[in-house]
Structure 1
C-alpha cells in the first residue's frame, strides 16, 4: 500500500495568541503541519478547502449583545404637596405643558430641562433653572427673554400661563405647578398610588424649596435605543459619539447608530461593568415592541495589507508560520510568512505571497 503524501495534522495553536498580540479580532483554530514533502501531485491530493490571498483593509470589530428599549428610566419626584388624584398609564407619552400627575385635582405639568426644579422660581432669581423656564415659556408662545434672569417679562408670562391653565395666579412657579423632565417623556412605570399623600412641601412663594419626596413616576425618552452592558475594557471602543452598526433581530439589515450615553454599572458577580446606550434612526422601518439586538463596534484598521484566513496558517516548531500555496498544476508549496494584525477571522501576512494566490485552509 502506498504511503499517503502531504498528510496534514491539525492541532489548536495556543501559542498563536501571544505571537499575534498586535491583533484583537476573533481567533480561529490553526493548523500545525507535520513533516511532509514540499509538494504533492494533484492526483494524490485529497479534496481540500482553499481561500484567496486578498489585499485591502482589515478592521478589528467586536459584537456586543444588547436589547431594544427606551433607555434608562429616571424618577419624577412627588414634589407637589397634597394627595395624588390622577396618574398616567405606563406607555403614555407626556409632552411639554401636559400633565405628569395631579395632586388635589391640580395637574403638575411637564416642562423640558435637565436641571430639576429644586426651588421656587420668582422675580429676581437667576440660574440655569430660570433659563429652562424662559425657554419653555418662549416655546409655548409667551413673550419672554430667553436668558437666565427671572425679570418683569418672565413674571408677566408666568402670570398669564397660570391664568390660562386655571392655576392660582401668583407670578411664582413651584412644584405644585411644574416639573422639569428631559424632553418628551414616556411613562415606564407608576410608583405612586391614587389617594396616597405625597408628603412633600412645595415651599410656597418664599425662599423654601420643593422638599424631599419619593418618585411618583419613572420615565424614559420616547426615542428607541439599544442598550448593552460591557466590560470596562471594551467600553474604551464605545465612547460617547462613537459610530456603530446596530442589528435588531427581526428588523432587517443593520442600522447606523451612535453611542449616546455611557454609565457605570455592576454585574451579577459584583464586577465593574458599563451600560452603553446607542441611539439610531429607524427611518420608516417598523420595530418590534421589544427585541434582542447586537452592537457591532469597529476598532483599529490596517490599510492595504495582504491577508489570509487565520486557519490557513501552519505553525512550525520554531515559532515560525507558513501557508500552503496552491500551484497552477494543483500541487502545493509551503511558503514562510510573518503574521501581523488580525481581525474578522483574517490575518495580515508578509512573505513570498501575492494578491490572488490560493492557499489551503484545512477543515
Structure 2
C-alpha cells in the first residue's frame, strides 16, 4: 500500500472516531432542564389606616324673591359688591347717581325731605347715625339736622348736596351684611334703565345643597353615600339623595334623617351667588389594622379569603377577613404584624431574596 493511501485511511479512521465520540456525548449527557419558575415578591404585613374619599363641590342653592324695582332712568355706570351689603353701601349707580342700601323693614316708597315723618325716615336717621353723621337714630322725623347730615353724606359720595333723598336713591335691606342677587342680563355696566326694572333679588327660605357632577363620577356617589360638607369651621355630615338628570347629574345632599343638612347652623352657610362648599365623599370608611396588598388576597369557591404566609421555606395558606379596601390595599384580620405574605401564586426559590414594599409608601387612601 502506498504511503498516500495509508495516510488517507488513518484520517478516515480518526474522523469516524470523532463523530462517534460526539454522538455518544450528546446522547449520553442529559440536557440541562429549563426553569419556568416565576420570581415572586413578598411584602411585610404592617399596621396602618385605610380609607378612601373623593372631594367634590356642593352648590348652595336658595330661592330668591325680587327686592325692589329700579326707579332711576339712565345708564348703569357702576355695580357695587352685592355679596354682603353694608349699611349705606352702594348697590349700583345710574348716571353716576349712587343707589344706596339702608337697613329697614319698611321700603323707601317716596322722596324724603324736611317735614317727612314715618318708619322710612327713622331708618334714614338710623343709617346716618351709623355712618357717623350725628342724627338721632330713634327719630322718625326729617328735621334740619337730618337734612344737614344728608348733605354731608351726599358730599362724601360726590353727589349734589340737596339735603333731600330722591325717590329711588335708597333701597331697604333687611339686615346689615345681607347678600343680594343681581339679574345678570339686566344689571351690568352700560345697561340702559328706563325705570321699573327688577334688578335685585334677595335669598328666601332655607338653603338646599346639591352636587352637580358627571355621570361617571355620579356612579361613585350612590344614594345613601355618606358625605361631609365643610363651611368655614363647620362640618356637616349628610347623605346623598337620589340623583336626577338635568344638564348634568344633580345629587341632593341632606342630613341623615332627610332633613336640612345645616340644621340649626344655617347662618354659617356663606351667602351670595354661586356658593360652593368642599365636600368629602366617603367611598370607604377609614379602618385601622394590618395591611396587605389586595394582590396578596385570594378567594376560594365559597368566597373565603386567604393569603399565603411565607414562613422560612414553608408556604402557609392562612384565612383572613377583609375589613376594608382602598387604593389596591386591604385591612385584614387573621395575620400578624411582621409576617410576610406572597403577592403572586408561584413558589419563591428563596423567601429571603423576595422584595419588600417601599417603606415610604402611604397606606392611607386619598
Q: Structure 1-normalised TM-score?
A: 0.48
Of structures 1 and 2, the larger Rg is shown by 2
